[in-house]
Structure 1
Amino acid sequence: MKGDEYMLKKIDQGALFLKENASVFRCPTCHGTMKEENHTFFCPSGHRFDLSKKGTLYFLNHQIQTEYTTDMFAPRRRMIEAGMYNPVMDELANMIDFPEFILDVGCGEGSFLNQLNERKSLEKMIGFDISKEGVYLATQQPLPAFWCVADLTNLPFSDNCIPTILNIFSPSHYKEFQRVLTNNGQLLKVVPQSGYLTELRQAFYPNEIEKQSYSNEAVVKKFETEMHLVERKRITYTFDIPKENQLDLLEMSPLEWGVTEAVKQGLRENPLEKITVDIEILKGSHSNRFH
């Protein structure tokens, strides 16, 4: 979407995107073709999905309750905007070979896609998440992306239509990724490594050594099994947390779900000033091209 289309209401922006890009989608119920008309997306079999006022689509046929709520997404967004992941975003932008069309899998509240767009001037963008709260927050991002709620295991996208898939700190479904990627398409997956948020882990779980560090090697091995690994890059650094964001760190990740209120209160009174970011970017392509 370009220039004056920003003047449209969000629901009309969403309808325009669907009308112009209907061939990218397929019905998640019957896998039929889709068509937009009067703010409704439907297939020849009569399965219908209505655009929300925010211009989003809910592709699930049932309500999903997740623990990822606005209370977690909002501080996460503030930490991202404060620059916590800038080196990661810089490297990701360098590794995107096909900026003409990006699918952000597990987009959350959209901050990562927005940051990449600022660096790379992406042309066409779709973000989806299982969390409706995250997707609604994503519509506040200042970029012309289309946002939807969808199921990772049953993507509402056509075969071989997506040049680039982003998979940042979120689950994967490689069979579906392989299906929707173009033949020369790429998957960029960001996974935490052993030092990720180590100061927060130690503070949250001072008496549980097993929770203070972890390994994601099983995730990496799965990636290597399911995709052709093109590149593997580790990025490690310490981020100085701005004073106004130090409490956001405590609420931004699932790490805090099992923490006692006494430990949280102690950290509110003496918040962390630095945090380690330790991640790997895995760049993959179709495995069947190399078998």
Structure 2
Amino acid sequence: MKKIERGMAFASRHVDIFKCPVCGEGFEEVMNGSFSCSKGHQFDFSKKGTLYFLRHGVKSDYDDIKMWEARRFVLKAGLFQPIIDEILSLIPEKNYLRIVDVGCGEGSTLKYVEEQRTNREDAYVGFDISKKAINLATRDEGSAFFCIADLAQLPFASKSFDVILDMFSPSAYGEFDRILKSKGLLFKVIPNANYLIELRHMLYEENDPQYSYSNDKVLTLFKRHYPHAKIKKITYEFPLSKTFFESLVYMTPLHWGAAAEKIDAALAKGLNKITIDVLLLIVENN
């Protein structure tokens, strides 16, 4: 089956997951390569089986194919596997869950989740604002459906997902609350102060704001929305080869503001391990 056929088949099977970002109505059918809502707004499937739901142009540093390819390489090597394994241990062992990955990037996280939840017949959806990332995500064989969408105006129906995954991505808590089912689970991962600290210290001087990091603002806002959330600290070291280190440098926004000579020096020196230090924030919807 071609990718466009797979995408259309997914939308046809799970039409109730989606809502039109133009008028807010539900979608009715897939016909002639388009997804149509009840008021006639149409969205065309790409050859890769994706849908473009944005209603405005996007200019973002994240639409960088080199960054996404580097991220894909390192994630497939297992950089975040202990985090995702912890999440998987908290997802109910039942069938037919609907799982959405917020800011899914190049799709590695969603692919890993699907591989671990074999024979569950779940429905997987990933979305990102970066078209290049979404195109890269479609390279993997799998059942997940990918789309380009706006976090602040999600093209999903209310109470349509059992699980929301948010790995290092921005959040729109009002939208999360809207699309999450009763008793559904939200998993949000945020960095701690020591996340990638070795790389941070290689790329920046002590007097630079980027030399250190605090998640206080993000965590305070999250707790304001979800005062009863559970919080789990996850810390480990990930071994790096020279090739992995080069990809790590380019997969993280840390390299954006770094001086060219600092990046060159870091690449020349390398690292044999990196610290992963995060908080896993867990919410069960009422």
Answering whether residue 117 of structure 2 is matched by residue 120 of structure 1, we say yes
Deviations 1:181-205 (A, max 9, x none): 1111110001111100000100000
Q: Is the 8 A contact 2:98 2:160 kept in 1?
A: no
Which residue of structure 1 lines up, in the alignment, with residue 174 of structure 2?
175
What pairs up with 1:217-232 in 2 under 5 angstroms? 217-227=216-226, 229-232=228-231
Which residue of structure 2 lines up, in the alignment, with residue 45 of structure 1?
39
Which residue of structure 1 lines up, in the alignment, with residue 258 of structure 2?
259
Deviations 1:201-235 (A, max 9, x none): 00000343532221112212222221353421111
Q: Is the 8 A contact 2:98 2:123 kept in 1?
A: yes
Q: Superposition RMSD on alpha carbons, in Å?
A: 1.5
Which residue of structure 2 lines up, in the alignment, with residue 4 of structure 1?
none
Shift of 1:280: 0.9
Which residue of structure 2 lines up, in the alignment, with residue 61 of structure 1?
55
Q: 1:22 aligns with which of 12, 15, 28?
A: 15
Which residue of structure 2 lines up, in the alignment, with residue 242 of structure 1?
241
What pairs up with 1:1-291 in 2 under 5 angstroms? 8-34=1-27, 35-68=29-62, 69-97=64-92, 100-121=97-118, 123-208=122-207, 210-227=209-226, 229-286=228-285, 289=286
Which residue of structure 2 lines up, in the alignment, with residue 3 of structure 1?
none
5+ residue gaps, structure 2: none
Deviations 1:93-129 (A, max 9, x none): 1122366110001000001111222223361100000
Amino acid at match of 2:39: S
Identity %: 40
Shift of 1:151: 0.5
Amino acid at match of 1:92: I
Moved more, 98-107 or 160-169: 98-107
Deviations 1:58-99 (A, max 9, x none): 001222121111110111111111121121121111122366
User: What is the DSSP-based 3-state SS (H/G/I as helix, E as strand, rest coil) of the residue aligned with 1:229?
Assistant: coil
Normalising by structure 2, what TM-score? Answer: 0.94
Which residue of structure 2 lines up, in the alignment, with residue 5 of structure 1?
none
Q: Is the 8 A contact 1:223 1:229 kept in 2?
A: no
Moved more, 104-113 or 218-227: 218-227
CA distance in 1, matches of 2:112, 2:182: 27
Q: Is the 8 A contact 1:229 1:283 kept in 2?
A: no
Deviations 1:18-57 (A, max 9, x none): 1111111110110111121121011122211000000000
Moved more, 95-104 or 247-256: 95-104
When the two structures are aligned, how many residues end up with a matched partner?
280
